[in-house]
Amino acid sequence: MNAETLVDARATLGECPIWCERSGALYWTDIEAGTLSRWQAADRRVRHWQLPDRVGSFALCAQDGVVLLGLAEGIALFDLARETLSPVVAVEADQPTTRINDGRCDREGRFVFGMFDRDDAPRGHFYRVDGSLRIERLPLPAASVGNSIAFSPDGRTMYFGDSPTRTIWQVSYAPDGSIGTPSVFVRLGANDGYPDGSTVDADGGLWNAQWQGGCVVRYDARGQESDRIKVPASQVTCPVFVGPALTKLCVTTARIGMDAAALAQQPDAGALFALATPWQGLPESRFQVAR
């Protein structure tokens, strides 16, 4: 299964790819550049939105043309056509070293996200945002790099990780939002890189991008590896299923921290790659804005 370059984005820190099945478009963010981008499959054109802050993650809303942004400092709604940003709801304002990192919507349309601490200290927490933009802290262990947030097809299992620990956890997750006790789902080996973003396929497999591992790995519902796809960039950040049938996997990558020698060896670092797989994905859940 070979990777092809879908968009030569040259992203400093490409992240959070999301496929819009309604418009046949792929969205992603370059965290360090503070941009949200869109690739249109029909004409392969790319559009960028420059935002006033870094975008750790985001979600498409049930209402077309509106995006929920996980900005470094907080949560906001962004109207793509008007290019207007709602007031930012602050998160961890008392922690100057943290920012919003990875996030995904649960099956009920609430946005769940983790934090990144620039000092590599486990000070960040995991949060959930409902349709009225009310933010609640989840009863999960603190992390230094909250990552790998994904939900099983039935929504009853949540996956999350703390990248420096090389561990992805699973926890029971009820429709009313109550959460069980976490248990280890996967622990990566010392030579496997670090778990970054994840997505789930229709059969319940978790696909994880492995930072510094140069690959995307599929784990079945028991946490056993079933597939491994190499990517021509070592800093792989996040996968998502794309295309009309959701049978192609797209992954974002990064070139942050790479010197000239490393970039010469990995000239496509920062690109979005497309990978053919025998698996089918699920549409990403959309954020349900309260009316």
The DSSP-derived string for the chain is --EEEEE----SBEEEEEEETTTTEEEEEETTTTEEEEEETTT--EEEEE-SS-EEEEEEBSSTTEEEEEESSEEEEEETTTTEEPPPEESSTT-TTEEEEEEEE-TTS-EEEEEEETT--TTB--EEE-TT--EEE-SS--BSBEEEEEE-TTS-EEEEEEGGGTEEEEEEB-TTS-B---EEEEE--TTS-EEEEEEEBTTSPEEEEEETTTEEEEE-TTS-EEEEEE-SSSBEEEEEEETTTT-EEEEEEB-TT--HHHHHH-TTTT-EEEEE-S--B-PPPPB----
User: What are 147-158's pLDDT values in tens digits?
Assistant: 999 999 999 999
Segments making up each domain of the chain, as ranges: 3-276
**Residue 2's pLDDT band (cuts 50, 70, 90):** confident
Q: Is the pLDDT of residue 203 over 90?
A: yes
**Residue 286's pLDDT band (cuts 50, 70, 90):** very high
Superfamily for domain range 3-276: TolB, C-terminal domain (2.120.10.30)
Task: Kindly report the average pLDDT of the chain as a whole number.
Answer: 96
Q: What percent of the chain has pLDDT over 90?
A: 97
pLDDT of 3: 87
Q: Is the pLDDT of residue 291 over 80?
A: no
Query: Mean pLDDT, to the nearest integer, of 116-130?
Result: 95
Query: Mean pLDDT, to the nearest integer, of 45-64?
Result: 97
Query: Mean pLDDT, to the nearest integer, of 169-191?
Result: 96
Higher pLDDT, 1 or 74: 74
**Residue 1's pLDDT band (cuts 50, 70, 90):** low
User: What are 127-148's pLDDT values in tens digits?
Assistant: 999 999 999 999 999 999 999 9
